[in-house]
Structure formats: structure tokens, C-alpha cells
Amino acid sequence: MPVVQRRHFLGLLGGLLGAAGALPGRGLAASGTLRIGLKSLPGGLNPLTVNDLVARQVLGSMYESLTTVDSKGRILPGLATRWEASDDARRWRLTIRDGVTFHTGRPLTALDVKRSFEAALGGDGANFALLALSKVRGFRELRAKTAGDLSGITVVDDRTLEVACDEPCAVFPFARLNIVDVEAVGQAGPEWFRTLSAGTGPYRLVRSSDGIRMDVEANPNWRGGSVPFERVSFLATGIGNDGITLFNDSQIDFTFVDTDALRGVMDDPGFKRSLSSVPRMQMRVVALDPRRVKAFGDLRVRRAMSLLIDRAAMAERFFRGVAAVHNGIVPPALLSNERLEPLAYDPMLAKRLLEEAGYPEGRGIEPFQVTVVPEYRREFVYYVSQWNNAGIPAKLVMAPRQEFISRSRRREYDAFLFGWTATYPDPMNFLDELFSSGSRFNPVGWTSAQFDRLIEQAMAIPDPDRRAEVYKDAEALVMRDLPVIPLVVPDYVALRGNVLSDNFITPFGGLNFG
């Protein structure tokens, strides 16, 4: 996509919006159209290989999974109406919903679910499906291309699947796995997702302009019945205050508010009726890579850096009270863990720990960079200044979003903001997928044999209450070693027109299109 200057970009976007019809006053969708502003739209929105939150938000309008989550975080039936686990959680039996039709017109069967799993594993690179399917028998062979199917998935009949795992997997049905008409996809070619709508969701694809706009229309055959809007348009607004400007000018009906813009919006009485917020099911941390900075390998240095952050003050003053202090790596709404110590603010203790580690007033720590995307600059100015005031030689660096995502996944930064949003309401989404030694998304390469054993133990417990007790021990183990520094977690804050309800945003970063 050619580079578009900010002023030209806004003018171009305004022209696209104007072409859709006359613009209504704030809060009214044009001709049954809901217009959603997002900072950016990924160039390729392939539901089989999705690996970022924005893509998941858009694709959620068109594609469904085995289970779904309501606005309070409860797991509900999706394309599966029933799921039963064996006592050791190594085998699952899934009942697939009857009467569901793909956008292509084909009826959904259990075979389509199996084919969707296999297609999601057929490509290269990391995606959410790898996490969800990694324990299914035949996963390694399919990824290595030494087998053509997932041997652990058995199609019993059109409505029934049996899943066999090499290891216990107590959360298998809850992961987000987009189910796709793979037969139609195969006929359409490798770039099928740009023109073909092959899901079962409430909306279906109309057109897509890479990186700028995507339009979807109501699916008349959706299993959930009628939907609130005839059409939904997703529009890239750019970073900064551009989305707020477009909302204020009545050119979009919904936009998330960036962290750096939050105070201005919260303090403006003109936005009061349009504000909507929901707590995030998210972990936000500073990832510290000890391979790149020797001092990060010392627990006393990591603790000192954590003790220099006044989280309560950040939540109240910087985030205007729409934020939460998490004392661990799992959101408290998912795991209330009394075994964790509060994350204190104590500059004097931080100073003593640096001295004990052999770095009095930060002397001897090699200079390092803390890398973030531009919308978090103001927040991180505070963190870096706190470390600098204690003598820790940190420098704040901005990186473009796509570059940041790819380089942070390759661990090419000394220290960086790492965020992870739950795709399903279970602590395993944070513990196993981020801190197990074999995880592809482990932000700093932290390993612990004891932690791995606890996760294996939890995976074999189908009962969620019993499983939670093991989770608490696992989380406490991570926090004692502190491989990452937890930060304040702001709510999802958005500006919405009055055509949308407060539960349009879910705690998992999704949008409630049904």
C-alpha cells in the first residue's frame, strides 16, 4: 500500500464515507450502516491464520467458533452445542450445531470443523490456532507436513466429533478457532479471503480495500436471527486523535480511545454521554530480555524496576480511574489469587536492591532501550523517567506498529511493552500460552520445570474450581521470579453513538455483533 500522509488520509477516508450516503448527526448510522473506526486494518484478514487483536475484532463479525463468550465472560455454546471431556481431559466429544449454513450456502457438518482445524495448521508462522491445537494428536506431523490430516480428530457423524490429545487439555473447546467452508476456500485460491465470505457469522463480506476499509452485510441465514444493522463498515482511522476527530465530525459511530488520548477525552464534558468502557481481560507488562541486557538476569534489578512504578497513582491520575492494578499476570476477574503479594511502590527499597545487586544508583547497568508503539508514548515517559531518576539508563524508543509486532515476537528489543488479551475466559490463556517453556508466545524465554509441571497438572483437571487452585500456585511462581513487570491495565474505553449499547465491547477486546 503506498504511503498516505495524515491529512490526505483523513480526506480520503472522508470521501469514502461520503460515498456511502449522506452523513447523519452524531450517534445515527447511515441507512442502517454501522461505521466502526479502527486505528489500522490488517492487509490480509485470513480467519485461518489470524494472530492479532484487530484482525480478530473484524473477523468476529463473519466467523464463529465452537464456543462463544458473553459480555460477562461466561462460556456459551457457539457452533458446538455440547462438549464432554474424559476424566483425564485427553479426549473430548463435541456435538456440532444442526441447521447452520455457511455464507456460501453449504450446510455446516462435523467434517467442516475438522477441515478448518487442519487448514489453520497448514500455513507457516505463528497464529492463535497453533496454541489451541498443539496438544491434539497428529499436530506435529501435520505441521511438519509428514501427514495430511489431524489423526486425533475423528468424525463420528455429521453432528459429532471426537478429539484425542497427546496431553491433557482441559480447555480445548474454549479457544477461538474460526470455522470456515474449506471446500469453497480451496476452489477460490490462496487469496480467497479478500473476496470470498466463507464463515457462518452474523455478517458476510461485501468488499475489502486493503488497509483502508472493509464492508460486511447482514447474513439473512444466521443462526441467531436478525442483526441490528444492515451493514457494518470497518474504517482505518490512523493513530493518535484521528478516530476521535472523525467521531466528533459524525463520520464514524464507534472508535476506541488510545491510551495517550484517554485523559483528554475523559476530561471533556462534551464526550460524557458517548463514553463506554469495560475492564480488559488482559495482561500488560514490560518484557525484559536478559539475553540482551545482563542486569535483567538479576531478580533484584527486576524487582527494583517494579518498585519504582506507582501503579495506584497511574490508575487514578493518568488513566482517570478507568484502569485496574493487577498484582499478577492473570486478570483478577479470571483468577482471584490471595497468594500474591501486592505490587508496592517503594523507591527506597528499590535503591537498596540495586546496591545489593552491585549496581548502586544504577551504575554499571548497560544503557538499554524500551520500545513501544506511539500511542503509549506518554504513559511510558513516566516509567522511563522513574527508572532514570533512580540511575537506571533506560531510553524510550517508538516503533511503527507492524514493525513493533514482528520484531517483539522475534525478541529483538531490550525491553518492550507486551500485551496479551484473553481469547477465552480461563487463566490457562495466560499461564500456559505465555510462560510454559514450549510456548511460541513466551515474551522473554522464561522457563521453569516446576511451572511446567503445575500446568500439566492443571491441564488434566476438567473441574474449573479444582483447576483454579493449581493455577494460583503457578501464577505465584511466576511472580516470585518476576520475568516481566506488570503494569496498570486500562479499561477498553470507546466513543459510541447511541445506536450501540454498553455491552458492544466485550472484556476480551471483541465486538458484540449479534
For residue range 85-125, list pLDDT tens digits in order. 999 999 999 999 999 999 999 999 999 999 999 999 887 66
Three-state secondary structure along 331-365? CCCCCCCCCCCCCCCCHHHHHHHHHHCCCHHHCCC
Domain with CATH 3.10.105.10 in the chain: 282-490
In whole angstroms, give the CA distance from residue 25 to residue 41.
25
Q: What pLDDT was estimated at residue 123?
A: 72
Three-state secondary structure along 278-335? ECCCEEEEEEECCCCCHHHHCHHHHHHHHHCCCHHHHHHHHCCCCEECCCCCCCCCCC
Lowest mean pLDDT among 13-17, 188-192, 402-406: 13-17
Q: What pLDDT was estimated at residue 26?
A: 40
In our burial notation (b when 16+ CB lie closer than 10 A, e otherwise), range 446-456 reads bebeebbebbe
- 163, β-bridge pairs: 92, 153
In whole angstroms, give the CA distance from residue 418 to residue 487.
10
Q: What pLDDT was estimated at residue 21?
A: 36
Question: 28 falls in which pLDDT band (50, 70, 90)?
Answer: very low
Question: 43 falls in which pLDDT band (50, 70, 90)?
Answer: low
Give me 392's grid cell: 537506571
Burial class (CB in 10 A: 0-12, 13-18, 19+), 506: buried
Q: What pLDDT was estimated at residue 240?
A: 62
Q: What pLDDT was estimated at residue 505?
A: 86
In this structure, how many other beta carbons lie within 10 angstroms of the beta carbon of residue 437? 13
Q: What pLDDT was estimated at residue 402?
A: 83
Question: 4 falls in which pLDDT band (50, 70, 90)?
Answer: very low
Q: What is the pTM of this model?
A: 0.81
Question: 57 falls in which pLDDT band (50, 70, 90)?
Answer: confident
If you average pLDDT over residues 147-173, what whole number do you get? 94
Question: 504 falls in which pLDDT band (50, 70, 90)?
Answer: confident
If you average pLDDT over residues 339-353, what whole number do you get? 97
Domain with CATH 3.40.190.10 in the chain: 6-55+201-279+492-504
Task: Tell me the fold of 67-184.
Answer: Dipeptide-binding Protein; domain 1 (3.90.76)
Task: List the CATH code of the domain at 282-490.
Answer: 3.10.105.10
Residues 440-487 have pLDDT tens digits of 889 999 999 999 999 999 999 989 899 999 999 999 999 999 999 999
The count of C-alpha atoms lying within 13 angstroms of the C-alpha of 436, restricted to the half-sphere facing its C-beta, is 21
pLDDT higher than threshold 70 for residue 24: no
Question: 130 falls in which pLDDT band (50, 70, 90)?
Answer: confident
Tell me the one-letter amino acid at 381.
V
- Which comes out higher in pLDDT, residue 28 or 147? 147
**Percentage of the residues of the chain whose pLDDT score is greater than 70:** 92
Mean of all residue pLDDT scores within the chain: 89
Lowest mean pLDDT among 21-35, 167-181, 264-278: 21-35
Whether residue 350 contacts residue 307, with contact meaning beta carbons closer than 8 Å, is answered with yes
Task: List the CATH code of the domain at 6-55+201-279+492-504.
Answer: 3.40.190.10
Give me 181's grid cell: 467452508
Q: What pLDDT was estimated at residue 41?
A: 82
Three-state secondary structure along 117-162? HHHHHCCCCCCHHHHHHCCECCHHHHHCCCCCCCCCEEEEECCEEE
Domain with CATH 3.90.76.10 in the chain: 67-184
Residues 170-217 have pLDDT tens digits of 988 988 899 999 999 999 998 899 899 999 999 999 998 877 899 999
Residues 279-328 have pLDDT tens digits of 989 999 999 999 999 999 999 999 999 999 999 999 999 999 999 999 99
Q: What pLDDT was estimated at residue 125?
A: 64
pLDDT higher than threshold 70 for residue 32: yes
The side-by-side arrangement of strands in the sheet containing 160-164 is 80-85, 91-96, 160-164, 153-157
